[in-house]
Structure 1
């Protein structure tokens, strides 16, 4: 099992969650579409060579984002990460894939 944590702008929250749920993330026993989310503010500055979804190269940008956490089984890891990267609007997607030891 893994814990997947990713950050997504509020405008794309449901779209990205649905993509990773369809790929198999968020399943726990007799439940699916399970996650935890919290709203916060992210910041970034695109540098030369970037093609930002939001903001302008060289300028600091602040955006309302959600931190989303969910579990996933080892067998769906590749499909889930592929779905996350395909559905997410950012050029560089910030995410963590953390092994769960139990």
Structure 2
């Protein structure tokens, strides 16, 4: 029998919205391991993100100023998702809870051996 598919959702968020985004992803089913034996599982690391909102493109930044390079503290979060449906629901929940106009996230399919 093939192992179940698993995915990892990785995203960056300002510390002010860390708990809110994790709560949303957990409510969508993310962060559960071993058929629910462990829940609200996440890995966090702090770093510095940078971006420049461009006025000519219509950027409306939550943080920083248009046409100015911003460098802000962010938390990178990794949360496992047990199926494609949970990964999709987790991304949708993240987008609703995240304060940024454009949410930086990635979803990786995890191979199990």
Normalising to structure 2: TM-score of the pair?
Answer: 0.87
Q: 1:20 offset after TM fit, Å?
A: 0.3
User: Hey, which bits of structure 1, 4+ residues long, moved more than 6 A?
Assistant: none
CA RMSD of aligned residues (A): 0.8
Q: 1:78 offset after TM fit, Å?
A: 2.0
Give yes or no for the alignment of 1:32 onto 2:39: yes
Give ranges in structure 2 of 5+ residues lacking alignment: 1-5
Give yes or no for the alignment of 1:62 onto 2:67: no
Rounded Cα–Cα distance in structure 1 between residues aligned with 2:25 and 2:54: 29
Q: 1:60 offset after TM fit, Å?
A: 0.5
Larger of the two Rg values belongs to structure: 2
Q: Which residue of 2 aligns with 1:83?
A: 93
User: Aligned residues, how many?
Assistant: 102
Normalising to structure 1: TM-score of the pair?
Answer: 0.96
